[in-house]
A = this chain, B = another copy of it.
Amino acid sequence: MITIERIGALREQCDDARRRECSVGFVPTMGFFHDGHVSLMEAARSAHDLVVVSLFVNPTQFGPTEDLDAYPRDAEGDARRAAAAGVDVLFAPLIEEMYPRPMLTSVRVEGVTDGLCGASRPHHFGGVATVVTKLFSIVGPCTAYFGKKDYQQLVVVRRLAADLDIPVEVVGCSIVREPDGLAMSSRNAYLSSDERPAAAVLYRALEGAIKNVMSGERNVARVRDAAVEIVSTEPLMSLEYAEVVRGDDLASVTQLENGVEYVIALAARAGATRLIDNATFQIDGHDIHFDLYGFGTPRET
């Protein structure tokens, strides 16, 4: 694995790969790798000749009161894990490399950014959309891999790639969970020893909501309430939102229908630490397909 800090050098690697008719798989990250990141790298490795991982804590997607300065970092550990996962190129630019002058250009995605995390983080997805567009321009990947934990981000990136005709396939990979169900996240490092076990209530809330659907419930408000009730049993967790929305465009729904993918998405705080989690599901007649550890089989969509 080589580590590259400059855009020009990365472009050379990617251009060279394309000249040799090699396919390029890309995993954009903010580093502090856990098994979730590694699963994305492995998915890319299994399908592509050249695997590029970017490690860039993008300042423009953090709000002024958010955790940019505290965001956990471990450059050496990240390089070791990426190399072990078979990554070819780790792109780790400085902020000045990605933003060498004041950015006058921005990419915005409307609609799918209004609800869920977009409601409380008004500039977040604009920052994500702009930096992902830049990274796609730099790497020119055939396929890009995103974790489904940031489900709304996945929908935003899919939509911007389609709307801007960027020739990349955007693959969402299943959430990787700790043994007690907590979704892996770099931000889990913020949790105190009390908060850490409490945070697994989010997983149990998703599980409870899905059991509710399995038992025949089709009313969205009642499915949502099943999740809310479970989170409320954990005094250390404070719920920000719980929503059941359509999976492809995050549209509100009132009743669950056959053959449509839905996502139940949660955000909650443990002290100052904001955590998100979600599960996708689809009702097909008597079958119900879930993407939740312990229920469904992890799959790419």
Contact = CB atoms under 8 A, between A and B. Distances in A.
Interface of A: 7, 11, 18-19, 21, 101-112, 129-130, 133-134, 137-138, 140, 159-160, 162-167
B165 A103 contact: no
A138 B165 contact: yes
Q: From DSSP, what is the main secondary structure of chain A's interface residues?
A: mixed
Contacts of A110: 104-106
Instruction: Tell me which of A103, A105, A140 has the highest count of chain B C-beta atoms within 10 A of its own C-beta.
Output: A105
Contacts of A167: 11, 137-138, 140
- Greatest chain B CB density within 10 A among A21, A104, A109 is at A104
A133 B11 contact: no
A31 B164 CA distance: 22
A175 B159 CA distance: 38
A134 B11 contact: no
A253 to B, nearest CB: 19
Contacts of A11: 167
Contacts of A103: 163
A137 B112 contact: no
B104 A163 contact: yes
A137 B111 contact: no
Contacts of A18: 18
A109 B101 CA distance: 14
28 contacts: A7-B165, A18-B18, A19-B21, A102-B111, A103-B163, A104-B109, A104-B111, A104-B112, A104-B159, A104-B163, A105-B110, A105-B159, A105-B160, A106-B107, A106-B108, A107-B107, A107-B164, A108-B108, A130-B164, A133-B164, A134-B163, A134-B164, A134-B165, A137-B164, A137-B165, A137-B166, A138-B165, A138-B167
